Amino acid sequence: MARKPYAARQQEPSERIDPTEAHLKPEERLFLRWRRSPYHFIKDIIEWKEGEGPTRQQQEGLEMVGKIADAKYKVNNNLKCTEEDKQLAGKLGISIRSGHGTGKDCWLSWVYFWLLTVFPSAIGMVTAPTSHQLDDILWKEFRSWQLKSKFLAEKFEVQSDKVFLNEPGAKGTRFVSARTANVRGTEDEQAEALAGQHDDFMILAADEASALPKGTFRPIEGAMTGKMNFAIMIGNPTRATGYFFESHTKNRNEWVCLHWSSEECERIPQSIIEADIKRFGRDSNWYRVRRLGEFPITDESTLIPYEWALNAVGREIEASASDTRLVGLDVGGGGDDSVMLFREGNIVGDYIPTCSSPDTMKVTGWAMSELADTDYDMGFLDPIGIGAGVNDRLRELGVKKIFAVDVREASSEPAFFRLRDELLWKVREAFENGTISIPNDDELIGELTTIKYDTPDSTGKIKVESKKDMRARGLRSPNKLDALALTYYFRERAYRSLGKMNKFKQKPKPINWRTM
C-alpha cells in the first residue's frame, strides 16, 4: 500500500501537537515539523511505497543536518539553547566518509530540497572534482526525486547547473548552484568554487571531497558568518591525505563525522558484498575504500598503491598521431574470464570486453569479432592453458598482428624472476611516474591495487605475487591487469624477438578508436 502523500498527512490525527503550537494552523505546524527534521520532510513529501524510505544511515545524516541547523540558528540569534546546541553550533559542518552504494548523492539532493523549502532566501553551493560527478550523478538525483514527488515537481525547477524554488519572488533568491572545482589551479583559483555567496541560510557542499585540494575548502573556514551556515563533505575516502582526510583525523573536533559502511547499508545485497570480498579480499585497500568507507592504508608490499591508481583515472595525457595502438588478450582458464584491453600510447581505453566461455573455439570467435572492429598495430596473447588453442586457431585464420607471449619464461633482465614479473613491474613504473591514464573501472582499479610483490631478497630479484598465491588468499585472477601487462611487452623487446625492428610501420591514426 502506498504511503499517503504530504497533503493527506497534514490532517493525520496521530500527529502529536506541541501545546505551545496549538494556536497554529495545521500547515504551519507541518512547516515547523519539517524545519526541525529533514527526515520527516523527506518522509512526507515523497510518495513512498510500503517498506521504502531513507536507509538508517541516510536517516542518521538527515537528523544530524536538522540538529546542526537548529543549533546554529539558536546560538547565532541568542535564543535559549542546550550544551549540545552550543557544541554543534561550533562545528564547521558534517563530514561523511562512505562506501559505494549507500545513497550519499541521493541524500545530498534531499538536504538541498529541504533547505530551499524551509528557510527564507536560502542558497546552496556544491562543488566536485569533475563535472561528471555534478551533472551525471548529483543533478540526476535532483531530477529523479522531482519525478517521484508531486510536491517537488510543483515547487522546484531543475536546470543544468541550478535548482530553483519555483515560487513568486523566490527564483532568484532561493537556489542551489553547481561549480566544478579547479583541481589544478592555484589555491586562490581552487577557492573560487565555493566562494562569492553569502546568506543567512546557506549550506556549502563538497561532493567526492577526498579528491578535492585544500584550497577548495578555504571559504568554509572564513566566509560563513550567517545565522545558519555550515558545510557538508561527502565522498569515498580514497586518499589518506588532504582536507577531507584531516576532517576525520586530526581536525575531527571541528566536524560532525559520520561513517557509512556499505556492509551496514540495507539496500546493498549481501551477495554483492560477498562477491567483492572474494574478488579483492576484505583487507585490500579497494574493499576498505569502496565498501567499508575507510581510508586506504600504506602497504609496502602492494604492487601499485591505491592513490597511484586513483591519480591515473582520467589523467590528461596528450595523444599523438604516432602513438602505437596495442591490444592485450588474457585468455581465461579454470573459470576465469578472457579479457581484451586496448592501450593507445599511454592511454588505456575505457572499453574492456570480456568473454566467460571456457571453450577454445568460442573464445577465438569472440576475439576475432572484437579485433575485426579494431584498427590496432600489434597485440599480445597469453598462450597458457586454452590460450594455446586460441593462439593456434588465430594463426590458422591468418591473424598476423597477434603474438604469443609466455609470461612463464625467464626475464631477460636480472632484476626479475620471470617475464611476468618484469611486465607487471613496467605497469607499476607507469603509475609511479604518472605516465598512464586509465578509465574509472572498478575491477581494473581493484586488481591493480590488490596484487602484492616480494621485495628483492639475497638474489636481488623481484617476484610479483602468483595467481596461485592470490587464490590462497581467496582472491580471483587479475585478468584485466594481466591483459594490461601484456601490452608492456611492446617496444625494444618485442621488436627484437619478432624481428620487426626495421619492418614495423604504423598506420595513420583513425578518428575513433577504443579510447574515444
When pLDDT is averaged across residues 474-481 and rounded to a whole number, the result is 90
Say if residue 508's pLDDT is above 60. Answer: no
The per-residue pLDDT for range 391-436, each reduced to its tens digit, is: 999 999 988 889 999 999 988 888 898 999 999 999 999 999 999 9
Coil, helix or strand at residue 147: helix
Tell me the C-alpha distance between 94 and 68, whole Å. Answer: 9
- Nearest CA to 103 out of 328, 260, 238 is that of 260
What is the number of helices (H) and of strands (E) in the chain?
22, 16
Which alpha helices (H) appear in 184-317, and where do they start and end? 187-191, 218-222, 243-247, 270-280, 285-287, 306-312
Q: Packing angle between helix 479-487 and helix 419-432, nearest 10 degrees? A: 90
When pLDDT is averaged across residues 152-165 and rounded to a whole number, the result is 94
Please indicate whether residue 389 or residue 30 has the higher confidence score (pLDDT): 389
- The residues pairing with 361 across neighbouring beta strands, listed in sequence order, are none
Tell me the C-alpha distance between 175 and 246, whole Å. Answer: 30
What string of DSSP letters covers 419-484?
Answer: HHHHHHHHHHHHHHTT--BB---HHHHHHHHH-BEEPP-TT--BEEPPHHHHHHTT----HHHHHH
Cell matching residue 389 = 588453442
Cβ contacts of 366 within 8 Å, gap of 6 or more? 338, 353, 355, 357
pLDDT-wise least confident of 133-142, 190-199, 330-339: 190-199
* pLDDT band for position 474 (cuts 50, 70, 90): confident
- Nearest CA to 163 out of 192, 205, 191, 195 is that of 205
Tell me the C-alpha distance between 273 and 315, whole Å. Answer: 29
When pLDDT is averaged across residues 91-99 and rounded to a whole number, the result is 96
When pLDDT is averaged across residues 365-393 and rounded to a whole number, the result is 91
Residue 347 is predicted with a pLDDT of 95
Give the side-chain half-sphere CA count within 13 A for 237: 30
pLDDT-wise least confident of 138-142, 221-225, 242-246, 500-504: 500-504
pLDDT-wise least confident of 47-51, 153-157, 343-347, 507-511: 507-511
The model carries a pTM of: 0.78
Tell me the C-alpha distance between 243 and 245, whole Å. Answer: 5
The per-residue pLDDT for range 309-337, each reduced to its tens digit, is: 999 999 989 888 888 999 999 998 767 89
Residue 239 is predicted with a pLDDT of 92
Angle (nearest 5°) at CA 83 between 81 and 85: 55
What string of DSSP letters covers 168-181?
Answer: TTTTTTSEEEEEE-
Residue 61 is predicted with a pLDDT of 97
Say if residue 500's pLDDT is above 50. Answer: no
The per-residue pLDDT for range 294-316, each reduced to its tens digit, is: 999 887 788 999 999 999 999 98
Which contiguous run of DSSP H or E holds residue 150? helix 150-155
Cell matching residue 334 = 579454470
* pLDDT band for position 22 (cuts 50, 70, 90): low
> Rounded mean pLDDT of the chain?
87
Name the residue type at position 245: F
